[in-house]
Amino acid sequence: MSQQATDLNDKESKTLLIACGAVAREILAINKINDWNHLDITCLPAIWHNTPDKIPGGVRQKIHENRDIYKNILVVYGDCGTGGELDRVLEEEGVKRIDGVHCYAFYTGLDAFEEMHNDDITCFYLTDYLARHFDTLIMDGMGISKHPELLPMYFGNYTTLVYLAQTEDQELQDLAQKAAIKIGLKYQYKFTGYGELGSLMAAVN
């Protein structure tokens, strides 16, 4: 068998994860912990959460680019603000995604997050990724840095910034606290680890 044919067979035995860039670090960590060698990952820009209408089309394009290469394709996204459009695309393409509406639920646990959110709907959530890139994604990405008058429009109905931490990192905790100050919210810390993300990936793989 030629090297090219061997490489193709190796690829066809693997699963491709099409994921949001905001969870790439965590997926790689989970992959290493579980010693999974059958997964490849390709990511779409995390900044698309500010323009979620781009996500369904971007996922569809990734599926079309890789359908003939990989035996299995799994989408590691929640609905992520697409209003059901991502699920419609995935149904058309015959591709599954993990359960959950967004990464906050993956990390906290689907049922636990729903209960927590129902108890207090005035919380704004950060993950490790969002704490690390808060200024780029929120302050600059949403135009608040240049137009601080937008702050009440975006955050006027929130009371608390809750940092759902995947790692115990003091530097990230400091960044999250500073983020809460910047948008005028109380600060709360909750360590989640990787939550249910690994089991959700394994369940549909």
Inform me whether the pLDDT recorded for 3 exceeds 50: no
Q: What is the reported pLDDT for 189?
A: 98
Inform me whether the pLDDT recorded for 7 exceeds 90: no
The secondary structure of 119-159 as a DSSP string is H-TTEEEE-HHHHHTHIIIIIITTTTTT-GGGHHHHHTT--
Mean pLDDT, the chain, rounded, equals 91
Q: What is the reported pLDDT for 108?
A: 95
Higher pLDDT, 64 or 6: 64
The rounded distance, in Å, linking the Cα atoms of 75 and 98 is 7
200 pLDDT band, cuts 50/70/90, is: confident
Q: Which residues partner with 125 through β-bridges? A: 162
Q: Is the dihedral of CA 50, 59, 197, 106 positive or negative?
A: positive
The pLDDT tens digits of the residues spanning 11-50 come to 667 899 999 999 999 999 999 999 888 899 999 999 998 8
In the block, residue with structure tokens 């608040």:
144
Which token pair is 80?
A: 């992520």
Inform me whether the pLDDT recorded for 8 exceeds 90: no
Q: Which residues partner with 16 through β-bridges? A: 40, 73
Q: What is the reported pLDDT for 2?
A: 40
Domains parsed from the chain with CATH numbers: 3-97 (3.40.50), 104-191 (no CATH)
Q: Cβ distance 55 to 75 under 8 Å?
A: no
Q: What is the reported pLDDT for 5?
A: 40
Q: What is the reported pLDDT for 37?
A: 86
The pLDDT tens digits of the residues spanning 117-175 come to 999 999 999 999 999 999 999 999 999 999 999 999 999 999 999 999 999 999 999 99
The pLDDT tens digits of the residues spanning 125-138 come to 999 999 999 999 99
Q: For residue 127, give the nearest of 114, 113, 141, 115 by alpha carbon.
A: 113
Chain centroid to CA 52: how far? 12
SS3 state at 13: coil
